[in-house]
Amino acid sequence: MPYQQTMQKLLVATLLWLTATVQALASDSPLDSLMNRVLEGSHQEVLQARALVDDFDASLGNAEKRLQSSRSELERINHQNVELEDRLLSLQKQLREQQKQWGAEKQDLQELLKNVSDQSQVLFEQVRPYGLWSLDTTGAKPLSEETIGLNDIRQLWQAMVQQIVVSGRIHQSQELIIDRHGKPQQAQVTRYGPFTSSAQPDNTDTPVWVSFLPEQQVWAELTPQPELSTPEQGMIIDPSFGALLVQYANAPDWLDKLKPAGMVGLLIALTGLIGLGIALVRIIALNKEQRSVSEQQQALDSANPSEIHAGNSLGRVMLAAQRMQPEFLENGIDEAVLREVPPLRYGLGTLAVLAGIPPLLGLLGTVGGMIETFNVISSVGSANSQLLSGGIAQALLTTKLGLMTAIPLLLLHCALKNKSNALIELLEQQAAGLLVQHRLATSRKPEHV
């Protein structure tokens, strides 16, 4: 650009010189004057041209410096752009991670708020009617997932803290209760925290257990009343908010528990009673016989033959041995011992049979109960558990009763068998002793002759 300007200026100077020369020739000026003018104009043009060239060189140097500076600036800017692009990519990556984390935290927060809202609904719908929320002073209310806020959560927390505090105290108030006959009356209700409540009617001196009916917003006396005595230095706490008291009051007695067993259970009980009666009779008889045999054995040890009695098995064996001829003594003693064995084992076989019958009856009841259960399933399906429980209860209860009856009878049979065997062994030992004495006596007779 500066070079083009210089050339334009040279062209303008040349045109001016030619114009001056033409004017000088036209005016018929002297030749010397014209020459001087030409030389003077040429000298000035040369100086101007040199000045223009110097200006051009200076402008060219400045332009090169500016070009070099611009190139350096461009490289710096390019380097900064690369760094900025890398930083931008890193920031975009961090932004995506932050967005992902924020989305997860937002989802967790929404689930937390939903759980808080659901728990507050359960708290106010199911727990509040039975607890001590009538003493609440915070004004807490059920939370909604759409409108829940920090103030609502803080208010609910304050209400729960207040409930924790009042739950550790005993509260008494004058309330209206419904007695077991359905008549309303005033009574002083004592609440042991949120768990159990008792009332003292104005016209009676006996406290009764009561429960709160949330639908009617009134206290009602438990029917039937659980037979519990409150300790003087303590209290009865039901952590199920009265459910255990109701269950305890409505607990079936032993006869109601045995009703599902039906006829099979009755047969098992009858078998057990018969076996128990036989076992008791035989235990008494064997104990009596054992005492008599022991007394008879002590009399024999004292070497007093006159003390032999026929009221016991050992005495009868000894008397039979005395009446026998010496040559028939061994056979007579064996016969006497064998004669005493059946009375000592009397009833053991029957007791063994009775001990084996209850398990079979229990198995019979189990089969009958399962058949009844399958009949119910085929009739009404398996959705009604209350109908199915009857057959299952019969199946399990009869098996339980059969084993509970058979095991004691079996143990009694073993005990009676051992006791009778001990008496029989004692008779056999005494009989062997008599034979030994007889043989010794017969072997010594020839020496005295």
The pLDDT tens digits for 419-437 are: 888 888 877 777 766 666 6
Record the tokens describing residue 434, joined without a space: 């008599």
Give 43 or 443, the one with higher predicted confidence: 43
User: Can you give the pTM of this predicted structure?
Assistant: 0.48
Is residue 449 scored above 50 in pLDDT? Answer: no
pLDDT at position 161: 85
pLDDT, tens only, 83-102: 999 999 999 999 999 988 98
Q: Are 221 and 200 in contact (CB under 8 A)?
A: no
Helix (H, G, I), strand (E, B) or coil at 219: strand
Q: Are 52 and 3 in contact (CB under 8 A)?
A: no
Record the tokens describing residue 431, joined without a space: 């009989």
**Contacts (Cβ under 8 Å, ≥6 apart) of 190:** 170, 171, 172, 197, 198, 199, 200, 207
Percentage of the residues of the chain whose pLDDT score is greater than 70: 68
Q: Are 168 and 193 in contact (CB under 8 A)?
A: yes
Distance CA 50, CA 55 (A): 8
pLDDT at position 28: 47
Give 274 or 169, the one with higher predicted confidence: 274
Which of 20-24, 152-156, 227-231, 298-302 bottoms out in mean pLDDT, i.e. has the lowest?
20-24
Is residue 383 scored above 80 in pLDDT? Answer: no
Q: Are 398 and 430 in contact (CB under 8 A)?
A: no
Is residue 15 scored above 70 in pLDDT? Answer: no
Which of 245-249, 267-271, 326-330 bottoms out in mean pLDDT, i.e. has the lowest?
326-330
Across 288-295, average pLDDT: 77
Alpha-helix residue ranges (DSSP H) falling in 212-347: 243-249, 254-258, 262-301, 313-323, 329-344
Identify the band that residue 171 occupies on the pLDDT scale cut at 50, 70 and 90.
Answer: confident
Is residue 205 scored above 80 in pLDDT? Answer: no
Average pLDDT of the chain?
Answer: 76
Distance CA 133, CA 376 (A): 46
pLDDT at position 447: 47
Distance CA 291, CA 299 (A): 12
Is residue 267 scored above 80 in pLDDT? Answer: yes
Is residue 411 scored above 90 in pLDDT? Answer: yes
pLDDT, tens only, 22-56: 555 555 455 666 566 666 666 677 777 778 878 87
pLDDT, tens only, 106-122: 888 888 888 888 877 77
Across 264-270, average pLDDT: 86
* DSSP class per residue in 157-188: HHHHHHHHHHHTSEEEEEEEEE-TTS-EEEEE
Q: Are 362 and 402 in contact (CB under 8 A)?
A: yes
Across 235-250, average pLDDT: 72
Q: Domain residue spans in the chain?
A: 2-102, 168-251, 258-448
pLDDT at position 414: 92
pLDDT, tens only, 125-141: 776 666 677 777 777 77
Query: Which of 409, 417, 415 minimizes the C-alpha distance to 358?
Result: 409
pLDDT at position 387: 59
Could you check whether the bond before residue 342 is cis, i.e. omega within 30 degrees of 0? no
Give 411 or 321, the one with higher predicted confidence: 411
Across 155-175, average pLDDT: 80
pLDDT at position 448: 44
